[in-house]
Amino acid sequence: MNLVESLRTHRLLAIVRGKDPAAALRTVRTLTEEGIAAIEVSLTTADALTVIRRARAELGPEALLGAGTVRSAVDAANAVEAGASYLVTPALVDGLEPYGVPVLMGALTPTEIELALARGAAAIKLFPGSLGGPGYLRALRDPFPEVPFVPVGGVDAQAARDYLDRGAVAVGVGSPLVGDAAEGGDLDGLRARAAEFRRVAAGGTP
């Protein structure tokens, strides 16, 4: 299953970032155990490339393990070499096509969306989603009915339900899902939040 197919099917992208590489790796492992299919490790995570490399070795070649906060072609090259199977950017980034992996490119305005699509984006990371909220996504669906949107930024369980109801193919969720787990915090809490977000993604209520 490719990235966009997984997003359409599972409707959830987990975003891991933290200052403790070992805890970040445990977080990736726990999310996988809890059935989260697509996981992004932000390059702002301490020793992020090692986290990605070790997670790839543990999870195998088919896992949807990506790198986030990719801001340059150099970031992309390093991430793909470490084992990232897709890239997530916070904004428009040039020069990512040669790496041969799907890109979830950050955009906010209609102009930025068009530019991201022209750069070959597989899907649009609507960021920061909290700036316009679910109503803004709904407005974008009229001129861009076929574009796969993934809102990111401030997406709690209720916002996730609202975005999905308004046409998002998936939502990207960081701290409302991960909490303090990637800093060495509570994994039981992470498991409980993962179950809640999976329930919401499947059509349930928060």
Residues labelled catalytic: 40, 125
Query: What H or E segment, with its residue span, contains residue 73?
Result: helix 73-82
At position 138, the amino acid (one-letter code) is: R
- Angstrom distance (rounded) from CA 142 to CA 129: 17
Integer Rg of the chain from CA:
16
CA distance 158 to 155: 8
Q: Cα angle vertex 93, ends 150, 16, to 5°?
A: 50
Q: Count of H helices and E strands in the chain?
A: 9, 8
Please give the distance of CA 198 from its chain centroid, rounded to a whole number. 14
H or E element, residue 160: helix 157-165
Task: Dump strand ranges (E) for 62-119.
Answer: 64-68, 87-88, 103-107
